[in-house]
Structure 1
Amino acid sequence: MKDENINHAFLDGVLDGSHEDVYYHFGVASSDPILRGLRDVQAIVTAGSAGRIVEFADRWSRLNGGSEIVAFPKEDRFVTRYTAGVLFASHGMGMPSASIAFQELMRMLFLLKRGDLDAMDEVFWCRVGTSGGVGLPAGTVVVSSEGLMADLKPYRLLRGGDGEYWFDGHFPTATSDAIIAANAGIDGLSVVSGRTVAGNDFFLEQFRLDGAVCLETAETKNAWLAWLDANGVRNIEMEGAMIAGYLNHWGFPRFAMICCTLLNRLEGDQVTATSEQLDKFSADSGVALFNYLRAHLLGA
């Protein structure tokens, strides 16, 4: 962990009882008894969809002999489940929503591990989702090597008179390699590594031509996608650059993003796959995750 980047001015006071930390959007606080049962957390898995979180927790519970599933009481923003050492939480859609979830989850982990940086280093983080592919057929699972913005620069924030603050968008190579290795040779599952672009929205910053507001032409869209393809970008989603930036800022050594492609953006903007195909695409990113979790948390 990068101890100097942790907000000790606030978080240390939570540990010593000087003040409480309210994880408002999850509906719990640092004094809440529900958190006592989460101190052995080994992994934090996030996804945009609340339904996927419920399904993931049920699946992990079954793999662990029907382990108890703990649900946080508030679910109007994020849905959270904990079972058998894994905290599953939805983060909504887009970087503004996901940034709220990750800020509160990082603070929560600091509390759960009592500020023990070595113990925090052992926790695996993963975002699982869907994406648009770049030069890949629909149904390809991409394990991100780097998260970038639409201009192929890292995630950054305005800081008043100090200009921009830039974050590191790289995902740990060892973790990405381990996920790919855990899925090698499985029939019907194609898992690759590549750079990922995170758009600030679904339409404009992803250069789509089918939005109510459109600023691009076929020529500018195709030129942008060709530029991404030539620079090793393999998929486009809406959260990864920020997530990698936040986790790198604190220095977490084990985190990843696994997203299945719903279409090849070089061939069009709209998702035309059948409902059966979409169900499989959505499931395959979870399959890749669980193959890794079995190998590294269950030892299977």
Structure 2
Amino acid sequence: MANCGCKDHINNNTEKENEASDSLTRYPDGSVKLRNPHIQLMDQDILYHIALGSESHDLIEMFGDVKFVCMGGTPKRMETFAHYIMEEIGYKLPTGTTLMDISQYSYRYSMYKVGPVISVSHGMGVASIGILLHEMIKLMYHAKAKEPIFIRIGTCGGLDLEPGTVVISDSVVDGLGNSFYSMPILGKIVKRPAILDKKLARELKALASVDDPYDTTVGTTMCAEDFYEGQGRIDGAFCDFTETDKMQYLEDLVKKGVKNIEMESLPFSALTHLAGIRAAIVCVTFLNRLKGDQVAAPKEVMNEYQERPQKLVARYIKKYLQSKGRLSSFDGHGSIAVKSPRRFKLVQQESQTFE
């Protein structure tokens, strides 16, 4: 029997599938293409929750040079990261200026831009980060940013890991062990694969230093939809299970390779994958869940822990920019650029309207 060349056939099919996927999510120049035909028909696309608009602001001028979108839970953490990455990549602000919260009029998220890096807060939980991801992906589309990389910088509960351990996610599951993001759309459940860029995870892990006074590991992350019962905690207002039940569940997660638990990885991995955007998640553990439920470390210790993922991500960004000859060679993008004063005022007013 002649050799059917099955391996070559599979490889060819995989390449064709990748090319087909790329054509759905990227234009030939590498800029982001939306999987939504309705956006192009709109007079203006208002990015309501970050107080920007496609016709009120010159988004190409403001964000066209963006390569990295880094997001984390709190406004303060991402402001701190913005200042940190500014020092690391040698970005200099014009004399007499300071870093500006670009989304200050939204009162929902905070966003800073440092050269080719955006630092933006995403709030807590699946719904909050999902809203931000829709608008950040659309922002990259309107800005014509080429092949942006999204990185979530977060905190988490570790499983059989020492507090302060850095965890790089290479896969994500929900509380039932499913590797997809499930949500009801028009009365039907839609399941979207939760897939991260494993190559990016390996590249980040390779930058962990033997001189770091903490461990950096790679593994599966569980995304919970709740901080208390959904993560098996017994210290919430309600609890219908025992300590023994909790420990059995957590130990089972460890056996399945789950390294940590947090609350945003599922939509983050699913929506970036759907958009064809390379993405990674780097978190630090605040506690070992096998030894307790409450975060009890002193504030100064917690602050130092939060710097650890930032350092690793900064190493990656710095190395990437060096390899491309872009370190300290910035062209002034990032200040507010207004297309239409009337629409600019309207967007601000609309974003400020909240109950």
Q: 1:126 corresponds to which letter in structure 2?
A: I
**How far apart are residue 186 of structure 1 and its match?**
3.0
The correspondence for 1:84, drawn from 97, 107, 115, is 115
Distance 1:83 1:96 in 2: 27
Which amino acid letter does the alignment assign opposite residue 71 of structure 1? D
Among 98, 101, 113, the alignment partner of 1:71 is 101
**Which runs of structure 2 are paired with 1:3-18 in the superposition (5 Å)?**
3-4=23-24, 6-13=34-41, 18=42
- Alignment correspondent of 2:86: 61
**What is the aligned-residue identity percentage?**
26
Instruction: State how far apart, in whole Å, the 1-side matches of 2:174 and 2:36 are.
Output: 29
CA change 1:65–1:157 in 2 (3 A) is: closer
State the distance in 1 between where 2:240 and 2:71 align. 32
8 Å contact from structure 2 (residues 91, 114) kept in 1: no
User: What is the 5 A alignment of 1:256-271?
Assistant: 256-271=280-295
Shift of 1:298: 3.5
Query: What amino acid is aligned across from residue 195 of structure 1 in structure 2?
Result: T
Mean Cα displacement is larger for which, 263-272 or 69-78?
69-78
| SS at structure 2 position matched to 1:8 | coil
In our comparison, the structure showing a higher alpha carbon Rg is 2
Aligned residues: 288
Q: 1:235 to 1:206 in 2, by over 3 A?
A: same
How far did 1:294 drift? 1.2
Alpha-carbon distance change, 159 to 25 in structure 1, aligned in 2, over 3 angstroms? closer
Do 1:145 and 1:194's aligned partners in 2 also have CA atoms closer than 8 Å? yes
Q: Over aligned residue pairs, what C-alpha RMSD do you find?
A: 1.8
How far apart are residue 64 of structure 1 and its match?
2.2
- Indicate whether 1:273 and 2:297 are aligned: yes
Q: Go from structure 1 to structure 2 and tell me whether the alpha carbon gap of 1:161 and 1:22 turns closer, same or farther (over 3 Å shift).
A: closer
Which one of the candidate residues 22, 25, 47 is aligned to 1:23?
47
Are 1:124 and 2:152 matched, yes or no? no
Contact 2:158/2:285 (<8 A) preserved: yes
Q: Is the 8 A contact 1:134 1:233 kept in 2?
A: yes
SS across alignment from 2:37: helix
Change (3 A) 1:93 1:168: same
What's the TM-score, normalizing by structure 1? Answer: 0.90
Scaled by the length of structure 2, the TM-score of the pair is 0.77
Q: Distance in 2 between matches of 1:103 and 1:27?
A: 14
Structure 1 CA distance for aligned equivalents of residues 57 and 187 of structure 2: 42
Q: Helix, strand or coil: the match of 1:220?
A: helix
CA contact (8 A) 1:183 1:292 kept: no
1:113 corresponds to:
144
State the SS of the aligned residue for 1:101.
Answer: helix
Structure 2 letter corresponding to 1:276: E
1:170-181 to 2 correspondences below 5 Å: 170-181=195-206
Give the SS at the match of 1:71. Answer: coil
| Paired residue type of 2:316 | Y
Give, in whole Å, the separation in 1 of the partners of 2:313 and 2:72: 12
Distance 1:99 1:293 in 2: 24
Range with bigger deviation, 208-217 or 171-180:
208-217
Query: Deviation digits for residues 115-146 of structure 1, max 9, x if unmatched?
Result: xxxx2xx2111000100001111110000011
Q: Which residue of 2 aligns with 1:93?
A: 124
Deviation at 1:110, TM superposition (A): 0.8
The separation in 2 between residues aligned to 1:108 and 1:281, in whole angstroms, is: 31
Distance 1:288 1:152 in 2: 28
Q: How many Å separate the matches in 2 of 1:66 and 1:102?
A: 28
Q: Which amino acid aligns with 2:319?
A: A
Partner of 1:100: helix, strand, or coil? helix
Tell me how far apart the structure 1 counterparts of residues 187 and 76 of structure 2 sit (CA, whole Å): 42
- Compared CA separation, residues 32 and 64, structure 1 to 2 (3 A): farther
Letter in structure 2 aligned against 1:78: Y
